[in-house]
A and B are shown apart, each in its own frame.
Chain A
Amino acid sequence: MPDRSEVRTDNGSENAVETSAHDILIIGGGGAGLRAAIEIAEVNPKLSVAMVSKVYPMRSHTVSAEGGAAGVAGKDDTLDDHCYDTISGSDWLGDQDAIEYFVDTVPKELLRLEHWGCPWSREPDGRVAVRPFGGMKKMRTWFASDKTGFHMLHTLFQTSLQFPSITRYDETFATRLLVEDGAIRGIVAIELRTGKIRAIQAKAVIICTGGCGRVFPFTTNANICTGDGMALAYQAGAPLKDMEMVQYHPTGLPFTGILITEAARAEGGWLLNKDGYRFLQDYDLGKPTPTPVLRSMELGPRDRVSQAIFGEFEKGRAFHGPYGDYVHLDLRHLGEHKIEARLPMVRELCLKYENIDPIKEPIPIRPVQHYMMGGVHTDINAATPLKGLYAAGEAACVSINGANRLGSNSLGEILVYGARAGRSAMQYIEGADGRTLQSAILTQAADEERRLEQQYLRKTGGTERIAKLRDEMSHTMETGCGIYRERNSLVESANKISELKGRYANVAIDDHTRTFNTQLTSALELGFMLEVADTIVHSALNREESRGAHQRRDFPKRDDNKYLAHSVVSRSAEGPPRIEYLPVVITRWPPGERVYGR
């Protein structure tokens, strides 16, 4: 349990805010958060690190990642190759200096994880094995059977347990960043178990809260992926970047949206339309071959493959199901032995959730939202413009993924940038002053407590159900701001989100108790999601070109003259968010054509 410093009351009233203090505070207990915490604990054990997470760390969404983490390992592979694959994969929106740093660092991080016990799959000689993956020219994806994220997360979590300088605040929901004099001072959070409001002081805060997939109706993301950290940063004045870049994963199960890993295609799976035809060949992704060819056909990048599947839907060449159209992922030709050895989790998921055995039948799949390339704007050192605030992982946008992320780059990113953010935060606090919680901060914290009481806990008579607002939000995001967008649909979505934000003020809460109030957290999450959805739609509206995952029917071409830049969206006091453009950093790879399958 955390150290209690003191319980302060605001002007002696009934409202009590408990306070505690640490040197560095990390919001989010997934891969990036744990890596940052371990980095700080290892390098400087005297610093007190707080890790605040709304769930126990092993529940973080890192756990569901399946495919692998890419890192240059083989003799025939070079760092430049990995850079080029990532840069072209990002449709030249990735910052090349950050990508070079990432590519250079990731193999060392993966090795470090191996030393910490991660059970990477092995070659017969005992060396770490690599597998091919979408968009990568060479085989460089390290993997731990088909549960890489699970093994990475548990390795990180278990390793973190040996450091006494890390204090965990499990099931503690951050509701607000505390800012004073243009610098971060800490956070306000709800301790779920008791309902107590805590003000946790810190000299630096690292946001590692993951993505915001629950803004969309069909997503591989867990329930907890609601963009909390992105909204917190945005509300505190730190801008978000490239929010329109939303990645759709080509192969998700139709009803649940559960992910069927890209590894299924890397091992040789085929995508077939209703005529049993490998349709990707019609979309400039190469020619079909019996065994997979890197960067071709089913091993093309996610955005192109998702767009191709969507194309089949529009051409009427897909199957029709109770939850919409779908196509087939066929693994039957791989044989039982290979599926059991390399893709056991895929088989498990299909049997459990679709009642289908991939050894005998093809799997129904459709593109589902999967990842946010966009996020809290950071520089190459994981720092946001707000002093003392850092971000890493999916919640951040450095950007190394640009307009489209290659599979198996994000598991490496959380390690590289988690560690980087930890180091940057440590450097920053060397110069920062360690003053105790000022009354201004305490007032902010007490205000926050009052807001939570008045707007949620004590409020009665609300008319809008949380689930209804959430459904309407996700529906408009799918129809207006999905894989293919155009001006009219985006404007409609923007207006709808505005309307929903207004109606949100009237949200109905049935549960007025303090103990473990998950309806309160659902309502707060909905608020965060609406903020984030707003930034997504407006960023998409303003980018009048098509690049990577952002496809505009009204502007179908890539426009490097105007848009070789990141959209940086900031909150404005009144009206729609303010959008500015920040040029992409180009070092050694001038923009070229994105070519796959040739």
Chain B
Amino acid sequence: MPQYMTFQPKPYRPRMSAYWYLDQWHYLRYALRESSSFFVAYFCVITLIQIAALKAGPTHYAHFQALMRCPVVIVVNAFALIFILLHAVTWFLLVPRVALRQMLNKPTPDLIASAPNFMVWFGATVIVALFILGVF
């Protein structure tokens, strides 16, 4: 080793792997959460297609329904549902905690901060379900 290098040690700069999120479970969980946005976008597109089909008339809507009944689409939609649930749950757990703390200026337990969102979500789900089941 040359003399001049003795006083100029080169630190080792590790490179982060492109698959860093596979190293630890908590990183993978994060990557999955972030990927859920893709499925949210997918769901929005499906909804837009559904609305367009509704507008275009009964035949088009029947085509849309047939498409939704395809086994492949059902599987994809099932995945989408799981990811969207993940998306909603992680959002509801995080945001109220920050917002409530900001308002009250003192620590609040996570469950108390997030509970209202979940309750509203549950309530809305019940109402929509009742509509779909034909009760209203």
Most chain A beta-carbon contacts within 10 A, residue among B3, B7, B8: B7
C-alpha gap A516/B11 in the complex (Å):
11
Binary interface encoding of chain B residues 1-32 relative to chain A, with 1 for a CB under 8 A from any of its CBs, else 0? 00100111100000000000000000000000
User: Would you give the shortest CB distance from B75 to chain A, in whole angstroms?
Assistant: 49
C-alpha gap A26/B3 in the complex (Å):
32
Contact B9 A193 (CB under 8 A): yes
Residue of B nearest to A14 (CB): B3
Number of interface residues, chain B, beta carbon within 8 A: 5
Contact B3 A514 (CB under 8 A): no
Contact A194 B3 (CB under 8 A): no
User: Would you give the shortest CB distance from B112 to chain A, in whole angstroms?
Assistant: 19
C-alpha gap A195/B8 in the complex (Å):
9
C-alpha gap A11/B39 in the complex (Å):
73
Number of interface residues, chain A, beta carbon within 8 A: 8
Contact A515 B3 (CB under 8 A): no
Q: Which residues of A have CB within 8 Å of B7?
A: 194-196, 514
Residue of A nearest to B10 (CB): A515
Residue of A nearest to B8 (CB): A194
C-alpha gap A194/B4 in the complex (Å):
11
Q: Which residues of A have CB within 8 Å of B8?
A: 194
For the complex, would chain A's binding face be called helix, strand, loop or mixed by DSSP majority?
loop
C-alpha gap A93/B39 in the complex (Å):
77
C-alpha gap A194/B6 in the complex (Å):
8
User: Would you give the shortest CB distance from B4 to chain A, in whole angstroms?
Assistant: 10
C-alpha gap A196/B7 in the complex (Å):
6
For the complex, would chain B's binding face be called helix, strand, loop or mixed by DSSP majority?
loop
Q: Which residues of A have CB within 8 Å of B3?
A: 14
Residue of B nearest to A194 (CB): B7
User: Would you give the shortest CB distance from B68 to chain A, in whole angstroms?
Assistant: 56
C-alpha gap A193/B9 in the complex (Å):
8
User: Would you give the shortest CB distance from A480 to chain B, in whole angstroms?
Assistant: 43
C-alpha gap A515/B5 in the complex (Å):
10
User: Would you give the shortest CB distance from A10 to chain B, in whole angstroms?
Assistant: 16
C-alpha gap A157/B110 in the complex (Å):
34
Binary interface encoding of chain A residues 14-29 relative to chain B, with 1 for a CB under 8 A from any of its CBs, else 0? 1000000000000000
Q: Which residues of B have CB within 8 Å of A515?
A: 9
Q: Which residues of A have CB within 8 Å of B6?
A: 195, 514
C-alpha gap A514/B5 in the complex (Å):
10
User: Would you give the shortest CB distance from B118 to chain A, in whole angstroms?
Assistant: 29
User: Would you give the shortest CB distance from B1 to chain A, in whole angstroms?
Assistant: 10
Interface residues of A in 176-197 (CB under 8 A from B): 193-196
C-alpha gap A580/B70 in the complex (Å):
100
Q: Which residues of B have CB within 8 Å of A195?
A: 6-7, 9
Q: Which residues of B have CB within 8 Å of A196?
A: 7
C-alpha gap A196/B3 in the complex (Å):
12
Binary interface encoding of chain A residues 305-336 relative to chain B, with 1 for a CB under 8 A from any of its CBs, else 0? 00000000000000000000000000000000
Residue of A nearest to B3 (CB): A14
User: Would you give the shortest CB distance from A450 to chain B, in whole angstroms?
Assistant: 16
C-alpha gap A193/B6 in the complex (Å):
11
User: Would you give the shortest CB distance from B9 to chain A, in whole angstroms?
Assistant: 4
C-alpha gap A194/B3 in the complex (Å):
13
C-alpha gap A516/B7 in the complex (Å):
11
Q: Which residues of A have CB within 8 Å of B9?
A: 193-195, 514-516
Residue of B nearest to A515 (CB): B9
C-alpha gap A196/B4 in the complex (Å):
11
User: Would you give the shortest CB distance from A15 to chain B, in whole angstroms?
Assistant: 11
User: Would you give the shortest CB distance from A459 to chain B, in whole angstroms?
Assistant: 17
C-alpha gap A195/B7 in the complex (Å):
6
User: Would you give the shortest CB distance from B77 to chain A, in whole angstroms?
Assistant: 49
C-alpha gap A514/B7 in the complex (Å):
7
Residue of B nearest to A193 (CB): B9
Interface residues of B in 79-131 (CB under 8 A from A): none
Interface residues of A in 490-524 (CB under 8 A from B): 514-516
Q: Which residues of B have CB within 8 Å of A514?
A: 6-7, 9
User: Would you give the shortest CB distance from B5 to chain A, in whole angstroms?
Assistant: 10
User: Would you give the shortest CB distance from B80 to chain A, in whole angstroms?
Assistant: 45
- B-side residues, CB < 8 A to A, are 3, 6-9
The 3 closest A-B pairs by CB, nearest first: A515-B9, A194-B7, A196-B7
14 CB-based A-B contacts, threshold 8 Å? A14-B3, A193-B9, A194-B7, A194-B8, A194-B9, A195-B6, A195-B7, A195-B9, A196-B7, A514-B6, A514-B7, A514-B9, A515-B9, A516-B9
